[in-house]
Amino acid sequence: MEERTEIASLGEFGLIDRLTSNNEIKNVSTILSVGDDAAVIDHFGKQTVITTDLLLEGIHFDLSYTPLKHLGYKSVVVNISDIYAMNATPTQIVLSLGFSNRFSLEALDEFYEGVYAACDQYGVDLVGGDTSTSQKGFIISITAIGEVSPDKYVKRNGAQVHDLICVSGELGGAFLGLTILEREKKIFNETGSQPDLEGQAYIVGRLLKPEARKDIIEYFAEEQITPTSMMDVSDGLSSDLLHICKQSQVGCVLYEDKLPINEEAKEFAYKLQLDPTACALSGGEDYELLFTVGQNDFEKIKQNPGISIIGYITDSSEGKNLITRGGNKHALVAQGWNHLK
């Protein structure tokens, strides 16, 4: 039988010591880390970018099919993705957890293994946080801190008429991963039969272990590209693009045939009788970067195989439209994920 250590046997300080015993510092900006009343950070003349995310069991994740290590990794990634979306570099995180007594010390160790793996992958320091018991369920709150050269941060409200609309990577995979996992969970609950993920490692991975697009931000720096607006695709491309349009007071034209959709994901969508375009537009949780650039950056953007140009910005009077493969024009609607519903 697997070893199970009750968390209560350590006490809070014992628990924190245990969970942070392997914590390594990677950034010169981290002056004082875990172990005091507060952390001390000095960004040496850079501007500080701060974001926070709350992840709740049953709303944002389902532990019946989410390994704790993957959850730890993803919890960090979804936060630092927001830092990259500001054209900044993530440097520190603070992590707070609430958990019930159904979680053992070994379970928390597994979660932290994923957290540290993400910190290593992205060069981020864990500098503090809090732990508490919760009546039921697992609660994760992460605040991420980053740095950016003065006034190089990119907001959502800078898109200009004629700008190109671009997106990194591929879209719709995470939604399809969620669809297959939810389907298999339902079958398991009804019949007890073991899940069959049909060899769909790509889409399941897109949901359970997404990556933040550090490489794209590095490419911008190398090529001296400053996007006019940017955000990460967490709620679905159409919802997120409409946010940019609203805040920039512009319209847009999006081309269906330019949307980057993975072939494997596309085939699986057809198998489920889902429209791959709808998955790409409304799926969410892809954590790709959606951004606009001026026409003068076209040549540089075109050279990067990890970026697709999917449309352009128009005057707000022209509306927000999708041009289908057949050449028809449809108003773009926000059908992305809404956790308040």
- What tens digit of pLDDT does each residue of 201-230 get? 999 999 999 999 999 999 999 999 999 999
- Domain 7-148 sits in CATH 3.40.47.10: no
CA angle 324, 326, 330 (to 5 degrees): 35
Cα–Cα distance measured from residue 178 to residue 205, given in angstroms and rounded to the nearest whole number = 10
Q: Output Rg (C-alpha) for the chain, integer angstroms.
A: 21
Helix (H, G, I), strand (E, B) or coil at 265: helix
- What tens digit of pLDDT does each residue of 181-196 get? 999 999 999 998 888 8
Joined tokens for residue 117: 């793996």
Q: What is the mean pLDDT of residues 230-257?
A: 96
Continuous H helices in 142-213:
173-191, 201-208
Smallest CA-to-CA distance from 81 within 117, 54, 51 is with 51
Number of C-beta neighbours around residue 311 at 10 A: 25
Q: What is the mean pLDDT of residues 292-314?
A: 97
Residues 6+ apart with CB under 8 A from 7: 15, 99, 101, 103, 104, 105, 108
DSSP letter for 298, please: H
Question: What CATH number has the domain spanning 164-331?
Answer: 3.90.650.10
% residues pLDDT > 70 (the chain): 98
| Weakest-pLDDT range from 34-38, 170-174, 224-228 | 34-38
User: Residue 271: is its pLDDT beyond 70?
Assistant: yes
β-strands 329-331, 289-293 pairing: unpaired
Smallest CA-to-CA distance from 142 within 168, 120, 124 is with 124
Helix (H, G, I), strand (E, B) or coil at 127: strand
Domain boundaries, the chain: 7-148, 164-331
User: Residue 337: is its pLDDT beyond 80?
Assistant: no
What residue has token string 């940019």?
Answer: 244
Contact 207, 337 (CB under 8 A): no
Whole-number pLDDT of residue 24: 83
Q: What is the mean pLDDT of residues 246-252?
A: 97
Whole-number pLDDT of residue 8: 83
Question: pTM for the complete prediction?
Answer: 0.93
317: number of CA atoms within 13 Å, CB side? 0
User: Residue 326: is its pLDDT beyond 70?
Assistant: yes
Whole-number pLDDT of residue 339: 44
User: Residue 104: is its pLDDT beyond 90?
Assistant: yes
Alpha carbon 276 to its chain centroid, in Å, reads 20
Smallest CA-to-CA distance from 165 within 156, 174, 175 is with 156
